[in-house]
Amino acid sequence: MPSIRHRRPVSLSLLALDLPTSASVETAATIYENDCDRFHILLAEPALNAIESSLMPGYRPPDGANATGDRSLWLELSPQRAVLTMQSGTGFHYRHLWEKGVYGISRYWLQEESGRGYEQIRLRNFTRCLTLSGRPVPDWVRLEYELWSQNLPLGRYVLNLEIF
């Protein structure tokens, strides 16, 4: 069955429950309806300075970072599993794999100063809750998870995606 495509405005937010960190962005998304309750959601993320300034006060985007944003977020979504991939032209990428009640992997890639390769940071996450609501296309996604480095907890987070 070919996928059905929808173009919708969305609001994406990330909230740390035990750290003073939160961020939200509003943008447009293309939603690909693949199978029953399986979706791919492609978001064009706004400019870096619209996001990092709220996550890291005083942060300045690297030279060459586009004022209109240069990052794409790709969310693969089902009721049991979510995969979020971010790709950018600035040398920073990440991929999170969340699965309800399971320890998943969060990977971050940072470009080396030489610009020739990438260093990888690998963390674990534990998915407490993954909720989709709305039919036939979800209008709300909530993901609650913990982030871990070895045996060291790095915080509890809530990721919300509202689709209008």
Give per-residue pLDDT as tens, 73-111: 999 999 999 999 998 777 788 999 999 999 999 999 887
State the pLDDT at residue 61.
52
Q: How many other CB atoms are there within 10 angstroms of residue 29's CB atom?
A: 20
pLDDT in tens, 125-139: 999 999 999 888 889
DSSP 17: S
Q: Which of 35-39, 42-46, 54-58 has the highest mean pLDDT?
A: 35-39
What's the total number of domains in the chain? 1
Q: What is the pLDDT of residue 55?
A: 47
Beta bridge partners of 72: 44, 87
pLDDT of residue 161: 96
What is the average per-residue pLDDT within 17-30? 92
SS3 49: helix
Contacts of 86 (CB under 8 A, 6+ apart): 45, 71, 72, 73, 74, 92, 93, 94, 95
Domain that holds residue 56: 4-163
**Average model confidence (pLDDT) across the chain:** 84
Q: Is the CB of residue 43 less than 8 Å from the CB of residue 70?
A: no
Q: Is the pLDDT of residue 63 over 90?
A: no
Q: What is the pLDDT of residue 35?
A: 80
Whole-number pLDDT of residue 81: 95
CATH of the domain at 143: 2.40.128.20
Q: What is the pLDDT of residue 136?
A: 82
pLDDT of residue 91: 78
